[in-house]
Structure 1
Amino acid sequence: MKVKVKLFATLRDGRFSEKEFEIEAGSDVELLLKMFNLKHEDVPIIFINGRHADFDTRIMDNDDIAFFPPIGGG
């Protein structure tokens, strides 16, 4: 199945900003983290099709997945 992955801010460093991937049906967000060599603490904010998602959320064909690093402010 085809998915579009978007990486934001520091997650883009040495990777990409937006890219389409073919992954196996039944895959979850955890698989994508492994593909990109990311840890849970690197990606505390995940959205699939504009809705909050977790590491065990199943991915569907044509999903748009966005990964955000920790965000701080002051």
Structure 2
Amino acid sequence: MTVIIRLFGRFRLGRFKEKQMNVRPGTSVSQVIELLEIPLDEVGVSMVNSRHCRLDHVLSDNDVLALFPMVGGG
């Protein structure tokens, strides 16, 4: 099945801004993050189709997954 991955902030460095990926049915958000070699503890917000989701959310065909890094500051 096909999903669109959108990366934000430092996740784009050395990767991409947006990419279409083929994944197996039953693939979760965390599995995609691992495929992208992004440490899970660096993910601040994950969204599927513009809605917040958990890392164990199972993706569907044509979903749009957006990943935002943790943000710090003071």
Normalising by the smaller structure, the TM-score range is over 0.9
CA distance in 1, matches of 2:55, 2:44: 9
Which residue does the alignment assign to 2:41? 41
Cα deviation, 1:13-52, whole Å, max 9, x if unaligned, reads 0000100001000110111011111112111200000000
Structure 1 residue ranges (4+ consecutive) displaced by more than 6 angstroms after TM superposition: none
Which residue does the alignment assign to 1:4? 4
CA distance in 1, matches of 2:72, 2:44: 12
1:1-74 equivalence runs, <5 A: 1-74=1-74
SS of 2:34's partner is helix
CA-based RMSD of the aligned residues comes to: 0.9
Segments of 5+ residues of structure 2 without an aligned counterpart are: none
Between the two proteins, what is the percent identity of the paired residues? 35
CA distance in 2, matches of 1:49, 1:28: 14
SS of 1:44's partner is strand
CA drift at 1:72: 2.9
Q: Which has the higher strand share?
A: 2
